[in-house]
Amino acid sequence: MPLKQNDWAYGRKTVPDACRAGAVTCAKFDFTIKDGETLAAADIVEIGGLLAFNEIVSYKLVHDAAGGTTTAKVGLLSGEFGDEDDSRTLGAEMYAAAAVAAAGVKTTELAGILLADSTDNDRGIGLQLSADTTASGSDITFTLIVEFCPKQD
């Protein structure tokens, strides 16, 4: 499984930091399949990050049409945020199979993410499509909007 990364995973852009307990911070991450390019079903995109000691309180996936019957799996990645290790695995804490064939917005499905404990290391958030997806005629962009706050014990 090849791991694809964007500017946040490479460290060219920084994830906002929620600096006070109870302060909710919003981050907007995106990944674009450029016109003429293909994202293989085996590819996992590290689309964003969750900083250490934080927990996700809500999220939203905004996307262009991916075509066919394509679905998206979105969740936490194993390993360290930004690590270029292709053996990292993707959970389905946010979406197990969100329909992305037509353009739209998927809202929070909190059942899984609230079970994910905050940790003392930064973690990646990944996205994987169920089918090879080729941008033909225009780009296909996936935007993940995440609200998070420091874990309160």
Q: Walk me through the domains of the chain, giving residue ranges and CATH numbers.
A: 3-12+25-150 (2.60.120)
What's the average model confidence in pLDDT over 90-111? 86
pLDDT (tens digit per residue) in 122-145? 999 999 999 999 999 999 999 999
Give yes or no for residue 111 having a pLDDT over 60.
no
The H or E element spanning position 90 is none
**Token duo for residue 70:** 């394509």
Nearest to 106 by CA among 55, 71, 69, 140: 71
Across all residues in the chain, what is the average pLDDT?
87
Give every CB contact of residue 111 below 8 A, 6+ residues apart in sequence: none
Is 112:92 a contact under the CB 8 Å cutoff?
Answer: yes
CA quadruple 30, 87, 111, 131: dihedral positive or negative?
positive
